[in-house]
Amino acid sequence: MKVKRKRKDDGKELHMIENPSVGDRVADVIILIICIGVALCSVLPLWHIFVSSISDGQELLKHEGLLLLPVGERLNWEGYKAVFKDASLLKGFANTLLYCVAGTALGFFISVTGGYALSRTTKMHTFMVLFCTVTLLFGGGMVPTYMVIRQLGMVGTRWSLIIPGCTNSMLAIMMMNAFNGVPKEYEESARLDGAGHFDVLFRIMLPQVKNMSMVLILNSVVGQWNSWFNASIYVPNNRNAWPLQLWIRQMTADNENFLLSANPDYNRYLIQYVLIVVAILPIIAMLPFFQERLEQGVIVGGIKG
């Protein structure tokens, strides 16, 4: 915090001694315009999708180009109604939520306990670090992994989307670094009071690494929410286990053939847009609250890895 305040002061002093020339002012305006342009490019496509989702389907099909306001005589919420009436899409939502919660919980548990074991002074320390580093460097690849998961009997079940991708060596090593950063005195005093590893980890150490834990959890939730590839190879035929993202892909594909159907239901065409809005909205809503945490995660990850 102190550092931050100092930086701000530096900035102020700097501005005081500066006498911006005309050229400087023009440069400022150009820079601002470019940056706002980037921000608009980031947001406008999503806005386009949102206004499409409340447009009139038939009018929308005729429209070309970027939409800033919904087309059609009045706002059309039929697409949203259709989505919330569709049992399989609702199931997709429930699945995505399940994968987010279960995958994150399991992955977090494994990373934390693994990271803790890696960070302790033990005889096996070198072996354990090596054991994790090898898999960081080299992997079997897509097909052998698929075969293993198939032989474990997970293909076609929800387990294949919860267990295999829930953690990796990188996360355990990040956790290890976080634990290594906690002053030794914490552990020593707890030890003197008779605490074992179990108490040390869950009652002493874990509360000290809240920041890193938060970063791990957030990244895992976002990753699970957005993941589609694993589902497309492990549960392609079990629609009951499809996450939301696979349904979006399906709807996009359906829409390409939409005009071929004889008697089209135009609200059906809107479902793709509605699904995208619903899939993005929670993440955009949480972004402002977690922005700083996530930024910290990037910076820490960049410096250490």
Partner 1 sequence: MAKIKAATQEIYMPPKVTWKKDLKKNGTAYLFFAPMFIYQVLFAYLPMFGILMAFENFKVNKGYFKSEWVGLQHFVTLFTSEEFPRALRNTVVMGLLNLTIGFIMPVIFAFLLSMIKKKKTKRLIQTCSYIPNFVSAVVVCSLIREFLGHDGALTGLLSALGFEQQNWLANGDIPVFWLINTFMNIWCAIGWGSIMYVASIATVSGDLHEAAAIDGATRFQRLTKITLPCILPIIVMMFTLQVGLVFVTGFDKVLLLYMPSTYSTADCLQTYTYRLAFSSGANYGLSSAAGLFQSVMGTALLMISNYWNRKVSGMSLF
Among positions 42-71, residues that touch partner 1 (CB under 8 A) are 42-43, 45-46, 48-49, 63-66
Residue the block writes with tokens 């005195």: 185
- CA torsion sign, 132 to 133 to 136 to 142? negative
Residue the block writes with tokens 């590839």: 229
Of residues 55 and 74, the one with the C-beta less far from partner 1: 55
Of residues 74 and 235, the one with the C-beta less far from partner 1: 235
Of these, 35, 75, 94, 101, which contacts partner 1 (CB under 8 A)?
35
Identify residue 113 by its one-letter amino acid code: T
Interface stretch with partner 1, choices 78-86, 97-105, 162-170, 257-265 (CB under 8 A): 162-170
Of residues 93 and 228, the one with the C-beta less far from partner 1: 228
Of these, 169, 187, 215, 216, which contacts partner 1 (CB under 8 A)?
169
Total residues binding partner 1 (CB under 8 A): 112
At a CB cut-off of 8 Å and minimum separation 6, what does 277 contact? 49, 50, 53
Number of Cβ within 10 Å of residue 100's Cβ equals: 20
Contact positions with partner 1 (CB under 8 A) in 205-264 = 222, 225-229, 233, 245-246, 248-249, 252, 256
Of these, 5, 192, 198, 262, which contacts partner 1 (CB under 8 A)?
198
Of these, 51, 162, 176, 212, which contacts partner 1 (CB under 8 A)?
176
Asked if 188 is part of the footprint of partner 1 (rule: CB under 8 A), the reply reads: no
- CA torsion sign, 44 to 48 to 50 to 55? positive
Of these, 53, 95, 119, 220, which contacts partner 1 (CB under 8 A)?
119
On the 0-12 / 13-18 / 19+ scale of CB atoms within 10 A, 41 is: exposed
Asked if 284 is part of the footprint of partner 1 (rule: CB under 8 A), the reply reads: yes
Of residues 180 and 240, the one with the C-beta less far from partner 1: 180
Query: Which tokens go with 4?
Result: 């931050």
- Report the candidate in 130, 295, 144 with the shortest Cα–Cα distance to residue 214: 295
Asked if 90 is part of the footprint of partner 1 (rule: CB under 8 A), the reply reads: no
- Cβ–Cβ under 8 Å, residues 267 and 79: yes
Asked if 123 is part of the footprint of partner 1 (rule: CB under 8 A), the reply reads: yes
Report the alpha-carbon distance of residue 185 to residue 200 in Å, rounded.
12
The least CB distance from residue 265 to partner 1, in Å, is 20
Of these, 83, 100, 155, 173, which contacts partner 1 (CB under 8 A)?
173
Q: Count CA atoms closer than 13 A to 122's CA, side-chain side.
A: 12
Asked if 144 is part of the footprint of partner 1 (rule: CB under 8 A), the reply reads: yes
Report the alpha-carbon distance of residue 130 to residue 128 in Å, rounded.
5
The least CB distance from residue 78 to partner 1, in Å, is 20
The least CB distance from residue 210 to partner 1, in Å, is 19
CA angle 128, 132, 134 (to 5 degrees): 120
